[in-house]
Amino acid sequence: MITLYLATSNPGKQREFQEAAHGMGITVACVPNFQQLPPCVEDGATFEENARKKAQHYSQFCGGWVFADDSGISVDALGGAPGVHSARFAGPGATDEANNAKLLDLLRLYTATGGRERRARYTCVIALAERGKVLAVTEGSATGVILPAPRGSGGFGYDPLFFYPPLGKTFAELGPGEKWVVSHRGIAFRRLVEWMRQAPVQHA
């Protein structure tokens, strides 16, 4: 059994990664004493920069393989915003509800001025590191549309607003297994697992 240590305090991410790893021969555990460690400053301009920074930083405090993801949503009508600022779109410590409300407010303003483009893309970049050195980087994405009002009670983040046309549902309306197959985070994680299976050295 391979153990991966996840560098995040986000309970939604913890739950999704742990559920996904079940049955893959992988155990996902949180980096020990994560809340007591010096925080990583996420000031990168891209998802990859932030994922690399977090994985490198937290792998210095934990033996074995440490992975971190940086993810968010980019809306065409807003020039790609909120992008890397997705988690704090409505300000530091913002709740999912506050972030969603700000996104809808901005899109209503955009629509009132004649805009109609509500396409959006979820992106997830995962970096895997050991003792401060990045070993692998994987990426996944999912394309959808931002609805004018939330639907569904599952998921987290912008999931209630993110409508996925191939399934006719928002990510918040999908079951965990159904979402994992098509989500940005699921795609990035499966690519990471594939890299690990081909890697010359594995950690138990």
Task: Report the catalytic residues.
Answer: 70
- As a dihedral over the C-alpha atoms of residue 76, residue 79, residue 80, residue 81, rounded to 10 degrees, the angle is -110
Q: What is the Cα–Cα distance from 5 to 84, expressed in whole angstroms? A: 23
Query: Which residue in 138, 162, 136 sits closest to 148, CA to CA?
Result: 162
Cα–Cα distance between 54 and 40 in angstroms, integer? 6
Any idea which residue has 């959808």 for tokens? 144
Residue recorded with tokens 């790609």: 80
Q: How far is CA 42 from the centre of its chain?
A: 14
Beta strands in 46-189 (DSSP E): 65-75, 119-130, 133-146, 162-164, 169-170
> CA-to-CA distance for 197 and 199, rounded, in angstroms?
6
* Nearest alpha-carbon partner for 120 in 137, 156, 145: 145
- Nearest 5°: phi and psi at 6? -95, 130
